[in-house]
Structures are given as C-alpha cells and as structure tokens.
Structure 1
Amino acid sequence: MTRVYIIVEGQTEEAFVRELLSPHYARIGIYFTPIIISTSPGYKGGVVSYAKVKPQLLRLCKQDSEAYVTTMFDLYALPGDFPGKSLVNYPSMGSGSQKTAFLEMQLAQDINLANFIPNLMIHEFEALLFVQPEKFGEWTDDATVVQTLSAVTQAYTTPEDINDSPQTAPSKRVLAAMSTYQKTVHGPLIACEIGLDAIRNACPHFHAWLKKLEALV
C-alpha cells in the first residue's frame, strides 16, 4: 500500500482528487488523501503566500515519512515569493511547460525531502476541462458556451497551453463564456464526465505527474 497526500488549493481540487483520482488509484494500491492548504487560522484555500505554504509541506513530509507528499497548485497567479519566481533565470517569457519545469525543480530543492514530489498545474485546474468542452453543454442551454470554449481548444496544441493572463487563463475563459459556472460544483463533475484517460491523453504534464505517482508502487 502506497499513501500519498495531495496538497491542493481548494475545494474544487479536493473534490477532483476524491471523486476521480482516488477511486482509480485505490484499485492499484495507491491511496490519496487530499488536503486543502491553510492560508491563515480558520481559513483554507489558495496559495497566497509561499511563506505560509512551506511550513505545512515540511510538517506533513516529516510527520509521516513513510508516505509521499505532492502538490496540486496552479501555475497561474503563484505568489512572488514562490521558489524560483524571483530568480534572473526564471523563464518568464517561456511556455507554461518551461515555467512549470523550472519552478517544480526550485520547489523540490527548497523542500529538499525524499518523500516530496512537486507538481504544478499548467496553467490551472480548469485547463483539464477544455479536453472536452462539449461537456459544458450538459450544464447550460446556451449553445454559444460550447462553441466559444471549443474555439479556444482548437487554437492551442494542448489544453495545458491555454495561457495565464488575468483575461485569458482557463478559468477566466470559462467564466466569460458561461457566467453561471461554479468552480466547486461544475469543475469536478465535468472532469469526471470527461474521464481520467481522456484528460491524460490530452494533457502531457498532468499525465507525467500521474506516471511519477504510479512509479511509487
């Protein structure tokens, strides 16, 4: 049995892990426990400051050294104190994959514990939903929603390439097309409807992260 704690940004990602990842991986002996990051006493959700995140990662890695700890943080809107973001060689003009690879390496070095596996979502959780934008049609009567989101998907090689400005990040595009979108409700449900295999096939970085976790068995 392999135990993995997945530190997530909020309730959407927590539900995604519980409803889609956990049932699949329990069958092969990997047991996930999603934990929402704490931002301040009594409040959870969002990586608003790495200074608040690091102690939680270290504590979890050390208190259960026989388990593994990984993250599910969005590349989009990471705080300025996140490891590597202020370095002169940070590829700020690079692709999402380049930024992610650089920051994950810096995060691994900063935590520096054998049971820690860094992971960032390119560029955020909603990118996974662009794998099959037609699934949004089950939650709205407005046909333009699917048309708009499908056009976005067709403009990029993979959903993970959908960029991260405040106007064009995946979640911003979804909200612009479907104002009734509720992240914590629709996000996990649409992801489950798409299915893990389809998401992995379309999102190479997400697939690579799961391959790392599968190799722990």
Structure 2
Amino acid sequence: MAQKPPGRETYTMIRVNIFVEGQTEETFVRELLYGYFLAKNIYLNPILVKTSSTGKGGVVSYAKIKPQLNRKCLEDKTAIVTTMFDMYALPNDFPGSHSIPKTKDPFQKAEHLEREMGKDVGHKNFIPNLLVHEFEGLLYSQPDAFSLWFDEGVVSILQAERHAFPSPEHINDHPQKAPSKRIRNCCKGYDKALHGSLLALDIGLDTIRQECQHFHQWLLRLENLISS
C-alpha cells in the first residue's frame, strides 16, 4: 500500500521531494530514509525521473531532467526538491561537467557539480545532491553484508577494495573500476534492483552515514530544514 503524507493537522511537516535514478534508489528512500525522517517531522517523497514519455529511470540527459526539477520546484514553493543522482557517468550536458576542477578529491568534484546544478535550476527550494560516485559505493560501507547473499570469498575481496581507499565514496569512477563494476565482477548474479536495497537495509543507515561523508552531509542538510 502506498504511503501517504500526513494530513493538515501536522502543518509543521516539511515535505521533501527526492528525484532518484531508478527503482533501487526509490526503494532505498522508502525503506531506509522515510521512517527515519518522518520521526523528525520531515516527509520524503521519492520521484523516479522520466527519460521519455513512457520510460522512467536514469540520468541519460540533463535536458530531460531539468524541466522535471523546475516543474516540481514551482508546483509547491513550500516543499523542498532535491536529487539523489550518481556522479559517475553523468551526461555531457550536465551543468559544470566541462569545468570540473583538476583534483583527485571526489568531494570537491561533487560540490562543484552540485553548485552548478543549483545555479542552473535556480530555485530557492532546490537542494542539489550527487552520490559519490554512485549508489553501489554506499554498499562498501560494510562488505560483511554481502556474505548473506553471496559466497564467503566475496567479502574478503570487497574488504580489500574498500581498505584501498580512504572511504567508500573515494572508490573511483573509472569505467572498469567503479563500485558497481567491482561488485559485479566478484559477485556473480548481483542484480542492483534485487540486491541493492536489501544490502543497504542489512548495512543500516547509521553505518552508511559513518562511512560516507558526502552522503551524511546531505542528510544533515535535510534534517536541519526543520529548524530553519
């Protein structure tokens, strides 16, 4: 049964519309974030981006995404609009994609792209956010969780990959070495739609926030809306 926002009696409720890339991210918001934020009087509404008149999912073109963000911002100016898009493999027309600072710091890159997207959308009720580098990066917060779904040997491989970087969000965005590619290479049968949100649930929001600084800062910003 679909969850509905609280009624008028809870007029102090902050409403946040989160545009996501796919069903895995949509489930992640509903299963991991929704209840946590509802307890803080913040109602989260995940929205799957549309890529065509019939299709949904994926940021294949910023030109197709911007009008959706714009409409939602204008629809209710008392509600917040934010995003949970992968920084990995963003389309070439994404704001700031041709002026990314030459640095190895993924957070500086993400902040640059978010600033440029924020300026391009241009609404005060818009909070730009990118996952560094992609959703699967969050799953490196606790490689042990993979033992529930895959062969035991997978855990040691994923742990070694995790410890090779300062944090899960530092695991790089090379086409062959992005988090999703690494996981698929060692976890035979890995299916993001099937395993992604289940693994995240097993890991837990607290652990993901402890391990993933940029993701944590986004959630803090949303939490602080209630006192702003």
Query: Are 2:34 and 1:22 aligned?
Result: yes
Give the whole-Å Cα distance in 2 for the aligned partners of 1:47 and 1:91. Answer: 22
Extract unaligned runs of 5+ from structure 2: 1-12
Give the whole-Å Cα distance in 2 for the aligned partners of 1:167 and 1:29. Answer: 41
The alignment covers a number of residue pairs equal to: 214
Shift of 1:118: 0.3
Partner residue in 2 for 1:132: 142
Query: Are 2:98 and 1:86 aligned?
Result: yes
Give the whole-Å Cα distance in 2 for the aligned partners of 1:193 and 1:143. Answer: 16
Give the whole-Å Cα distance in 1 for the aligned partners of 2:104 and 2:83. Answer: 22
Query: What is the RMSD computed on CA atoms of the aligned residues?
Result: 0.8
Query: Are 2:76 and 1:64 aligned?
Result: yes
After TM superposition, the structure 1 = structure 2 runs for residues 85-164 of structure 1, keeping only pairs within 5 Å, are 85-87=97-99, 90-140=100-150, 142-164=151-173
1:107-133 CA-to-partner distances (Å, cap 9, x unmatched) read 010011000000000000011100110
Task: Tell me the SS of whatever aligns to 1:180.
Answer: coil
Shift of 1:95: 2.2
Partner residue in 1 for 2:8: none
Give the whole-Å Cα distance in 1 for the aligned partners of 2:26 and 2:86. Answer: 13
1:20-73 CA-to-partner distances (Å, cap 9, x unmatched) read 000111111011000010001110010000000000000000011110000000
Code of the residue aligned with 2:33 in structure 1: it is: L
Question: Alignment identity in percent?
Answer: 54
The TM-score, its normalising length taken from structure 2, stands at: 0.92
Shift of 1:143: 2.0
Give the whole-Å Cα distance in 2 for the aligned partners of 1:168 and 1:92. Answer: 19
Partner residue in 2 for 1:9: 21
Task: Tell me the SS of whatever aligns to 2:31.
Answer: helix
Task: Tell me the SS of whatever aligns to 1:43.
Answer: coil
Task: Tell me the SS of whatever aligns to 1:106.
Answer: helix
Query: Are 2:187 and 1:178 aligned?
Result: yes
The TM-score, its normalising length taken from structure 1, stands at: 0.97
Shift of 1:93: 4.5
Give the whole-Å Cα distance in 1 for the aligned partners of 2:123 and 2:185. Answer: 41
Give the whole-Å Cα distance in 2 for the aligned partners of 1:57 and 1:169. Answer: 27
Query: Are 2:202 and 1:190 aligned?
Result: no
2:85 pairs, out of 73, 77, 84, with 73
Extract unaligned runs of 5+ from structure 1: none
Code of the residue aligned with 2:114 in structure 1: it is: E
Code of the residue aligned with 1:3 in structure 2: it is: R
Code of the residue aligned with 2:145 in structure 1: it is: K
Shift of 1:92: 4.6
The ranges of structure 1 where at least 4 consecutive aligned residues each deviate by more than 6 angstroms after the TM superposition are none
1:77-116 CA-to-partner distances (Å, cap 9, x unmatched) read 00000001123xx225432111101000000100110000
